[in-house]
Amino acid sequence: FYTENSAQFQQDLQRLRELDLRFVVDSMDAQGEPVTTRLARLRHRLQPVLERRGVQLVWNMDLPGHPREPNPCSAEQLVSVVQEALSNVLQHSGATKVDINVRYVPATDLWQAEVCDNGRGLDVQQLAHCSGTGIAGMQQRARLAGGQLVLSSQPGEGTRVLVSVPGGEPVV
C-alpha cells in the first residue's frame, strides 16, 4: 500500500479521473448497444488499471440460449452498478482479486452481475452512518432498472455486490 501523498497514489488517482471521463464518453456512445458489449468495454477499460494496482480480475459470463436483452435504461444501470462496485474495490477494499460474474437466468428472466472481492470488507450495519453516495447510488440505479441490489460483507472477509435487473426484448 502507499500513502495519499505518494507520487504513485497521485498518478493512480489521476488515472481514475481519466477513466471516469472515458466511462462518461463510453456511456454516451453506448446508447442502444447490447449489455454484453457495454460490459466488454468496461472490462477493456478497467483491466489495465486493475493490473497496475496488482488486482487480479476474473471475469465470467454465463448466457445460456438466447437471453432477453434488458431495456436500454436497465442495461445502462446494470453496467453503472458494476462500474461503481469496481471503483469501490479500487478505492477502498485493498483487494488483490476481484471476480465478476454476469449471468442471464431464463427461469426468472433476470440479468445478474456479481462483483466479489477479497479485500478488507466492511460492516454493512454501519453503512447507514457513512457520508458516501456510492452504495446508495448503486441501490438507486438497481431500483431505476426495476431490479434490486444485495450487498454482503464482513470486516476482513471481502465484499459481494449482486445486482439483478429484468430482461426485456429477445435477442435475435
Cα 74 from Cα 10, distance rounded (Å): 34
Q: What pLDDT, on the 0 to 100 scale, is given for residue 172?
A: 43
How confident is the model over 29-38, as pLDDT tens digits?
556 788 899 9
Q: Is residue 98 over pLDDT 60? A: yes
The identity of residue 167, as a single letter, is G
What secondary structure letter does DSSP report for 70? P
Q: Is residue 127 over pLDDT 70? A: no
Cell (9 digits) for 66: 438466447
Q: What pLDDT, on the 0 to 100 scale, is given for residue 1?
A: 47
Residue whose entry in the numeric block shows the C-alpha cell 449489455: 35
Q: Model pTM? A: 0.79
Q: How far apart are the first and last CA of the chain?
A: 47
Query: Residue 97 CB: number of other CB atoms within 10 A?
Result: 16
Three-state DSSP class for residue 32: coil
Q: What is the mean pLDDT of the chain?
A: 82
Q: What pLDDT, on the 0 to 100 scale, is given for residue 78?
A: 93
How confident is the model over 39-71, as pLDDT tens digits?
999 999 888 888 888 999 999 999 887 788 888
